[in-house]
Each structure stands twice: as structure tokens, then as C-alpha cells.
Amino acid sequence: MQSRAMPTGNDLMTKSELIEAVSERTKLPKGKAELIVNCIFDSMVDALKRGEGIEIRGFGSFTVREYKSYEGRNPRTGQPVHVQPKRLPFFKVGKELRERVNESRGKGVPLSGGQAQAAAGGTPPRDTSSSSNQS
């Protein structure tokens, strides 16, 4: 079985593949790499359980969002269903990670001014050169 330290396309990196990548990069045995990965994940889960946020500069932040109870519907029967209040983890990607992931998209194909502005969250300028505006 061949190792995939870096997934491509729609592949997913599994926890065991992450452990293998940590082991290879740090030159540690897989057992120690597994302890490190598990320790990091356990610490993050414990912080989120306590309602604390986690901020990893350049990567992103994890917070817990609280949702109130509400009346939903069973999609199969249409009957009302009470949904209990819940707390769910939420991840917000950091600027550096977003830029690093996106730099591999469309290399060599720069965005036009309006496309770049829209990609940055702005509104592209209106196109005033259409034939309907000319007399």
C-alpha cells in the first residue's frame, strides 16, 4: 500500500495518513507521532467542550456556536418535530490558509479586475460598455 502524505483533488487525508505524515516529517516513530496527533486533538476537543475558542494564527479559528431549540419538520412525513438546543463546533479559515489553498487554483490565469474584486468580497464594477447604452 502506497502512502499519500499530501492528498490531491477530492481525496481526503485520514487521521492515520496525518499521523504518517507527522512521523515522516519529524523522523519520529509512528507510535510517538500518533501520541502527538491524539494529544493535539484531545486538547482541542477539551477546550471546545469548555466553550473556549481556539485560534491558530495563519490557519484559522474554532469556536462553539449555540443553537436554540426550534420546531422542525420530518421531511418524509411532514410532521412537526421538536429539535433540542445544541452546541456545534464551527471553523473559520484564516487568511493565510485561504490564500495558500487558493494559490494552487487557476495558476497562470489571473482574474480580471472585477473578478478579483468579487473574489475578495467586493462588488465588481458595472459594465457600461454594452451595446444597449450606445445610440
Confidence at residue 86, expressed as pLDDT on a 0 to 100 scale: 96
31 found inside a domain: yes
Average pLDDT taken over every residue of the chain? 82
| Residue keyed to cell 457600461 | 128
Q: What angle do CA 82, 83, 85 make, to 5 degrees?
A: 130
Give residue-wise pLDDT tens across range 36-47. 999 999 999 999
Answer whether residue 121 shows pLDDT above 70. Answer: no
Answer whether residue 105 shows pLDDT above 90. Answer: no
106 found inside a domain: no
Size (the chain), residues: 135
Question: Helices 15-26 & 30-49, crossing angle to 10 degrees?
Answer: 120
Number of domains in the chain: 2
26 found inside a domain: yes
129 found inside a domain: no
Quickly list H helices, 50-130: 95-102, 113-119
DSSP-based three-state secondary structure for 80:
strand
96 and 59 in a single domain? The answer is yes
Structural domain harbouring 85: 53-100
67 found inside a domain: yes
Can you give the CATH number for the domain in which 89 is found?
4.10.520.10
Percent of the chain scoring above 70 in pLDDT: 70
122 found inside a domain: no
Structure-block grid coordinates of residue 104: 494552487
Answer whether residue 31 shows pLDDT above 90. Answer: yes
Give residue-wise pLDDT tens across range 49-83. 999 999 999 999 999 999 999 999 999 999 999 99
What average pLDDT does the segment 83-105 reach?
A: 94
| Residue keyed to cell 495518513 | 17
Segment holding 87, helix H or strand E: strand 86-93
Percent of the chain scoring above 90 in pLDDT: 67
92 and 59 in a single domain? The answer is yes
91 found inside a domain: yes
24 found inside a domain: yes
Nearest by Cα to 81 from 96, 94, 69: 69
